[in-house]
Amino acid sequence: MKKKLLLGVLSSALFLWLAARGIDWSQFGHALAQTRWLYLVPAIAFTMLGHFSRAVRWRYVMAPVKQCGIRPLWSATAIAFMVNNLLPARLGELVRAFVIGRSQNVSRSASFATIVYERVVDVFVLILLLWFCTVRISGPEWMARSAEVLVVFNVALFFLLWAMVRWRTRFRLLIQRVVRPFPVETQHRMHNAADAFVSGLGVVAKPSASLPIALLSVLVWGCAIAGVWFCLIAFRLQLPALASVLLIVLISLGSMIPSAPAFLGTLQYACVVGLGIYGIDRADALAFSAVYHATQFFPITLTGLYYAWSSHLHLRELTEGRLS
């Protein structure tokens, strides 16, 4: 944990330096002063709608495991975002599995499997958006390279999950061989966790869920793009709608890099790079990133803290939760 925290802090410091080096701080302050704060209201509204849409989509992914109500799914989702914003090591998704498992009496391994599937879906959407940007924008060459890497990794991961469901009996036999060197009690625990994980992938074998999951994924990402667009309007940046798509793509790619909590540094650098493609001054871009980051941080963090408090969950309990 300490090594991950140190790596994240160093990474964030590096990207903050790259984003802020050589900027005119008086221009930075002027950009903040010129912000039309009223436009941040719809930016926050779309951001929260996007987060809530994730909880609705999760309901379809969770259905083969257990029919859960929206409230516990939304509560777990908000708590997970809060944890990612306040704690190191990107524990949010593990915490989400822990919280929903605790509240709905569901195996945490099965819950975590549904989250892995969700991430695969999100990366496929990200790939499509990244491809769209590379076709329409003359951006850095590494954007196209990133798309190639993501396609290979995500397709391989999807087929691995599909194979685990398709050949479940063979997968069980494989797990039995892998855990054989461990003590008997550990063997049972690892085998049960692996079996529960596969049961959480039931949506893979349920084609009828594909359409609502796809439509809700469009809503999730559409809301994220709309949130960026309203922040651009707030900063009087008259850019094409495609700029919002590009920024979401770059911010999402940056979120894959180890960083301090709340993606500090990587988000700022992504905004500076993205807006720089459109000729926006670095000081204006950094000011934009600060305000946009606030719209992403405070509303969902406060919401997550509320649900953690109302559920009698403490941060220590969340960080000590284990898949079982």
104-118 pLDDT, tens digit each:
999 999 999 999 999
- Kindly tell me if the per-residue pLDDT of 73 is higher than 50: yes
Beta strands in the chain (DSSP E): none
Do 120 and 158 contact (CB within 8 A), yes or no?
yes
Do 108 and 323 contact (CB within 8 A), yes or no?
yes
118-157 pLDDT, tens digit each:
999 999 999 999 999 999 987 778 888 898 999 999 999 9
pLDDT of residue 4: 75
First and final C-alpha spacing in the chain: 20
49-72 pLDDT, tens digit each:
999 999 999 999 999 999 999 999
- Kindly tell me if the per-residue pLDDT of 322 is higher than 50: no
- The CA distance from 304 to 266, in Å, is 22
Do 277 and 246 contact (CB within 8 A), yes or no?
yes
How much is the pTM? 0.94
- The CA distance from 229 to 241, in Å, is 7
174-189 pLDDT, tens digit each:
999 999 999 989 989 9
- Mean pLDDT (the chain) is 93
pLDDT of residue 321: 55
Token pair, residue 8, equals 């994240």
pLDDT of residue 324: 43
When pLDDT is averaged across residues 196-221 and rounded to a whole number, the result is 95
- The CA distance from 209 to 63, in Å, is 9
Contacts of residue 100, Cβ cutoff 8 Å, sequence gap at least 6: 62, 68, 72, 73, 76, 106, 111
84-94 pLDDT, tens digit each:
999 887 889 99
> Helical H runs in 105-209?
108-136, 141-166, 168-179, 184-199
Token pair, residue 289, equals 């990133």
288-311 pLDDT, tens digit each:
999 999 999 999 999 999 999 999
Residue with tokens 């109500």: 69
- Kindly tell me if the per-residue pLDDT of 165 is higher than 60: yes
pLDDT of residue 166: 94
